[in-house]
Amino acid sequence: MEFDNEELSTTITRNQDEFNIVFDESRHVSSAVTQPFTEAIGAVVLLTSDTYLKWLIILNLFALLAIAIMVVPEKENWRHVFDLTRFRERPTKIDSALYQVRVREAFLSKVRQFNDLTRDEFVRKTPAEIMQMVREPRLVELVSSARSYSNEELRDIIPLIRRWGN
C-alpha cells in the first residue's frame, strides 16, 4: 500500500476506527541513564491509547500523589512567635567580666567574615596570621594579649572595631 503523506493522513483521519498509529523509536539509541525513562514513557503512551487503562493510570497517579502528601511530615513553623505578656521585661544583664571576651569574639568573627573564611579555616590559622589580617596595633593587642581592659578602654576600642575593614 503506497501512499504519499497527504493521502495517508487523510485516509487515517477519515477512518479512525480502522487504524492504529504506532511510533517506532527502536532505531534511536538511548543511553543507559535515559533508557528507563524512554521505556516508561513508551509504556504510558501504549497504555493510554486504551480509554479504561488511561483512567486507571490517572487514578493510580492521583492515589500515589495523595499518599505522598499524607506521608510527608508537616514542616515546623519557622517564624518566631512573640510572647506579648513579657514584652516590657528587660533581658538579663551581661556580667561585666564577660564584656572583654564578647568584644574579642565579635571582632574575631568580623575578621573571619571579612576574609571569607569558614569557622574551621579560621581556627586553623596561626595567631601570627590572624594578627597579619588585623594590622591595627590596638586591635592586634586586643586579640593577642591576655591583658584585662577596663570598660572605658573597651568603649574606646568598639568604634575602632566598627571602622575596621571599611
Residue 2: which pLDDT band, with cuts at 50, 70 and 90?
A: low
Distance of CA 2 to the CA centre of its chain: 58
pLDDT value for 119: 92
Question: pTM higher than 0.85, yes or no?
Answer: no
Taking 70 as the threshold, does the pLDDT of residue 115 lie above it? Answer: yes
Q: What is the pLDDT of residues 14-59, one digit of tens each?
A: 888 888 877 766 666 778 888 887 787 777 777 777 778 778 888 8
* pLDDT of residue 63 exceeding 80: yes
Q: How confident is residue 121, by pLDDT bands cut at 50, 70 and 90?
A: very high
| Residue 25: predicted pLDDT | 65
Number of neighbours of residue 134 by Cβ within 10 angstroms: 21
Condensed to tens digits (0 to 9), the pLDDT of residues 136-150 reads 889 999 888 888 888
What are the residue ranges spanned by the domains of the chain?
A: 5-71, 90-163
CA 138, 139, 143: angle at the middle one, nearest 5? Answer: 120
Residue 125 is given by DSSP the state S
All three cell numbers of 6: 497527504
Contact between 129 and 120 (Cβ < 8 Å): no
Q: Please give the Cα distance from 162 to 110 (Å, whole number).
A: 9
DSSP structural state of residue 85: G
For residues 6 and 8, give the distance between their C-alpha atoms in angstroms, rounded to a whole number.
5
Angle between helices 137-144 and 151-163 (to 10 degrees): 120
Does position 1 have pLDDT exceeding 70, yes or no?
A: no
